[in-house]
Structure 1
Amino acid sequence: MSDQTWRNAINNNPIHHSIRQFLNQFPLKTYRSLLRPRELDCPRLYIWGRSTKNSFDQECVKWQVFLKFSKCDFDTEISNEPLMSPSGKLPFLVLTTGENLVDDGIEKFISDRYSEQFVSLSNEQQADSQAYIALADTKLRNALLARPELVDSMFEWVTILRIIFIFATISHKFYVSHYSKPLDKILFHQYKNLAIKELLTRKQALNGEEIYQEAAEALQSISVAFGDNDYFFGRLPTFIDAVIFSYIHVMLAIQTKELISLVQKHSNLIEFSKRINNDYCLLEF
């Protein structure tokens, strides 16, 4: 996914980097440690989340599920603080060697180390997988970012910038709730504007009906391609299953009737989501 996305913009927020630069000046003097830090017994995934080991963030859910598919023995740690990551972003995976992985690095680690847990895809299947992942990362993501019923095609784009979006609301409630005032309010408004900016990079005008229609068409295409299979390409899950599940799970968990109605039109996707949740995750929002 592009570095210009709202999610990556959160991780690359200038306020976070200013804090990081300030904190990097400390401690002024480091004394020899009397005890060595405890080494990890298994990889640890640091995620956005609340009191449980589950995440409200689509990217985090994707990697949680893909790690579950691989049968990798890993821990999950609620962080809510991108500055914890050497790369400055969440989620990130720390290996027992101390190596820090994000994004494609996590996928490569899982695919290389646990390849026996996944079916081998043909070139055509790999192309189809990439196409449907791209479809989800645009059309379904747009539906998550925007509250389309609040967007009127007759509004000018300057007016649209003042509209509240679902993910902006979530970021106020979850992403910035651990910050003290007034930093939480400042970050909330920045994240809201970043969500709007991301949408405007993909659409010249924000029309709520159009955004939902495109998401409905994307789900229809995914549902038809999925068919009656247990997973997208047969008997075992692959990366595309983790991606599609993460979107469906969050769309249902947000408890917004418009998003729920989009998914509920496709019984095979509902069953697919339930199957993965029951067999691998037991995730709650």
Structure 2
Amino acid sequence: MSPDTPNATTNQKPSRTSGWLAIPAPLARLFKRFPLLTYPPNELPARSPSARDVATLYVFISDRDALNGLPSFNPNCLKWQTFLKMAGVDFRIIPSTNHASPTGALPFLLPPSSPKPIPSSQLEQYAAENGTAKTPDVPTPKLEAYEALLDDRIRNAWLYALYLSRANTALLSRLYITPISTSPIVRTTTLYHLRSAAEADILRSLGSPVVSARALYEGARDAFEALSAILGDDDWFFGTMQPGLFDAKVFSYTHLLLDERLVWEDWTLTEIVMEFPNLVAHRDRILESCW
């Protein structure tokens, strides 16, 4: 019987052979007295400003860096933070977490004087409607081909470097674990869950039963080499006159791998990026223009 199918024999005596899914009579009576409730979506974080004259972007970032308007340490958050700057959107940033997000993920944006959050999937449209600068359009087939390099090979290598490489445990802890609790038990448990989730994500993407650091880094090198080739001698990807969303997406990885404020102990990915001077120069141009 489907969970959505009403029971037509409510008044009949339950059968002894109704199966292991049958609810015992005491629990059934309890549910009738205290029916299950569907709770509304999470409220906005308590630190949300009650009156806003500009949009608020919630990202992974430290309190100090947020006050100074610095880049997020999370690639997806940094991508949208950078793109909104490119599009001329006026916004402030506030530290947050996935658990505090009404959408269940970061980043999300709260428009001025509006209680309805905008998820990252709608930020490009928001920028087009509210920004002061027009970002370039890139043909979708070409864009999708190169986005796959970032979403698969580079992202997988990033996940391994930050979450699974034991050499970078101190960096992972400083960014995602230490800020949430002072309890050693909570920190240890959080570290375990973060690493387990990252490993599962990588394996799901690769369709492989094991994670090979060497294969992941080689895949990332091939991806960065392809990105370097498509960029060539141009300032921006695909020969556009202004940087766009794809430029912001590449920057979100290259900047974090080259940022000296992030103390990487496993330098493998950083060294790979440095093999391609035009990607380093691309990162420097966006850093100078946006920050």
TM-score (norm 2): 0.72
1:77 deviates by 1.2
Q: Deviations for 1:96-151, whole angstroms, at most 9, x for unmatched residues? A: 12220122122221234438511233xxx322112211211111111111149xxx
Alignment counterpart, residue 210 of structure 1, candidates 215, 223, 232: 215
Match of 2:235 in 1: 230
Give the residue type in structure 2 aligned to 1:209.
Answer: R
**Corresponding position: 1:183 with 2:186:** yes
Give the residue type in structure 2 aligned to 1:76.
Answer: I
Match of 1:139 in 2: 153
1:68 deviates by 0.5
1:38 deviates by 3.4
SS in 1 for 2:180: coil
Which runs of 5 or more residues in structure 2 are unaligned?
1-38, 44-48
Give the residue type in structure 1 aligned to 2:148.
Answer: A
Alignment counterpart, residue 59 of structure 2, candidates 34, 40, 47: 47
Give the whole-Å Cα distance in 2 for the aligned partners of 1:133 and 1:186: 33
Asked if the contact 1:145–1:165 (Cα under 8 Å) also holds between the matched residues in 2, the reply is no
Give the whole-Å Cα distance in 1 for the aligned partners of 2:168 and 2:128: 30
Structure 1 residues 166 and 63: CA distance shift in structure 2, 3 A: farther
Give the whole-Å Cα distance in 2 for the aligned partners of 1:115 and 1:165: 44
Asked if the contact 1:168–1:192 (Cα under 8 Å) also holds between the matched residues in 2, the reply is no
Asked if the contact 1:165–1:192 (Cα under 8 Å) also holds between the matched residues in 2, the reply is no
Show the 5 A alignment for 1:67-216. 67-79=84-96, 81-96=97-112, 97-114=114-131, 117-121=134-138, 125-147=139-161, 164=165, 170-180=171-181, 181=183, 182-203=185-206, 204=208, 205-216=210-221
**Corresponding position: 1:260 with 2:270:** yes
Asked if the contact 2:86–2:133 (Cα under 8 Å) also holds between the matched residues in 1, the reply is no
Asked if the contact 2:57–2:91 (Cα under 8 Å) also holds between the matched residues in 1, the reply is yes
Give the whole-Å Cα distance in 2 for the aligned partners of 1:169 and 1:197: 21
Asked if the contact 1:46–1:78 (Cα under 8 Å) also holds between the matched residues in 2, the reply is yes
Match of 2:287 in 1: 277
Give the whole-Å Cα distance in 1 for the aligned partners of 2:85 and 2:55: 12
Query: Whose relative contact order is higher, 1 or 2, with alpha carbons under 8 Å and at least 6 apart?
Result: 1
Which runs of 5 or more residues in structure 1 are unaligned?
1-20, 26-36, 149-161
SS in 2 for 1:228: coil
Asked if the contact 1:171–1:191 (Cα under 8 Å) also holds between the matched residues in 2, the reply is no
Asked if the contact 1:252–1:259 (Cα under 8 Å) also holds between the matched residues in 2, the reply is no
Give the whole-Å Cα distance in 2 for the aligned partners of 1:167 and 1:129: 32
Give the residue type in structure 1 aligned to 2:145.
Answer: A
Asked if the contact 2:106–2:120 (Cα under 8 Å) also holds between the matched residues in 1, the reply is no
Asked if the contact 1:69–1:280 (Cα under 8 Å) also holds between the matched residues in 2, the reply is yes
Task: Report how many residues are paired.
Answer: 232
Identity of aligned residues (%): 26
Structure 1 residues 265 and 88: CA distance shift in structure 2, 3 A: same
Asked if the contact 1:168–1:195 (Cα under 8 Å) also holds between the matched residues in 2, the reply is no
Match of 1:30 in 2: none
1:164 deviates by 4.4
**Corresponding position: 1:63 with 2:80:** yes
Flag the structure with larger Rg: 2
Match of 2:32 in 1: none
Asked if the contact 1:167–1:195 (Cα under 8 Å) also holds between the matched residues in 2, the reply is no
Give the whole-Å Cα distance in 1 for the aligned partners of 2:109 and 2:168: 24
Asked if the contact 2:88–2:133 (Cα under 8 Å) also holds between the matched residues in 1, the reply is no
Match of 2:18 in 1: none
TM-score (norm 1): 0.74
Asked if the contact 1:248–1:263 (Cα under 8 Å) also holds between the matched residues in 2, the reply is yes
